[in-house]
Structure 1
Amino acid sequence: MITLSDDVKDCIAICTRCAQTCLGEAMTHCLEKGGDHVAPAHFRHMIACAEMCRAAAAIMLTGAGHHASVCRVCAEICEACARDCEQLEGMEDCAATCRECAESCREMAQ
């Protein structure tokens, strides 16, 4: 059985929450709001963030120890998504979740 540190477990939980938030917001709030919320660049950020967070959580769950690079990229994508979301109405929770995930992933990347 794989033993994961509490820090890794916390990051997995945060990444999972961020993936769910970005995908959920993209598929509900953004699609329903329309306009800039579904602009290709923004929508791509949302989906890329969801997928990268999902992948980072999965890599950490393997316990293989190769998560530093994945977490570094995840932090970069989460930051970009947060900046994008901060520019749009009603995306504050998504931006905050992305920032939290970016911070946690930066710590895992060290």
Structure 2
Amino acid sequence: MTTTASQEELFRFLEDRFTCAQACTDCARACALRASLADPDGPEDQERVRRQGILCAEVCDATCRMLSEQTSQNEATIRIQLEWCRTVCLECAEIFEEYAGAEDSAKACRECAQACADFMATLR
């Protein structure tokens, strides 16, 4: 029989997992949008924004898919994916903050990075 405390821990774990997956989805959308606005034939810095936005969207999408799977996953693998996502999101936020009009994308990246960190803290 599952105790109330362990049920509460499970609910919190699933809630944190969902929050992280949702933040990844939001970040992926924001990064894909930002990447589509950057002119690939423009200055080198615009190409950097575009490439970083695409990378971040792909990493966030992969992380969201991983967190959405119903199968049992190795905790170490989850931690590696979350840390990768957190790092890429922070790097992307720093790049986006250099450009006017990219504030919302930078914010989505930072929120995703925080959600990944928060979820990692729930893992044992």
**Aligned counterpart, 1:15:** 24
Taking the TM superposition and a 5 Å limit, the aligned residue runs for 1:1-110 are 5-27=14-36, 29-31=37-39, 34-35=42-43, 38-39=46-47, 41-63=48-70, 64-65=72-73, 66-110=77-121
Cα distance between partner residues in 2 of 1:23 and 1:42: 11
> Percent same amino acid at aligned positions?
30
- Measured after TM superposition, the shift of residue 36 of structure 1 is 5.7
Aligned residues: CA RMSD:
2.0
Larger-Rg structure: 2
Structure 2, unmatched stretches of 5+, are: 1-10
Please give the TM-score of this superposition, normalised by the length of structure 1.
0.84
**How many residues are aligned here?**
105
Please give the TM-score of this superposition, normalised by the length of structure 2.
0.75
- Measured after TM superposition, the shift of residue 67 of structure 1 is 1.9
The structure 1 segments of at least 4 consecutive aligned residues displaced by more than 6 Å after TM superposition are: none
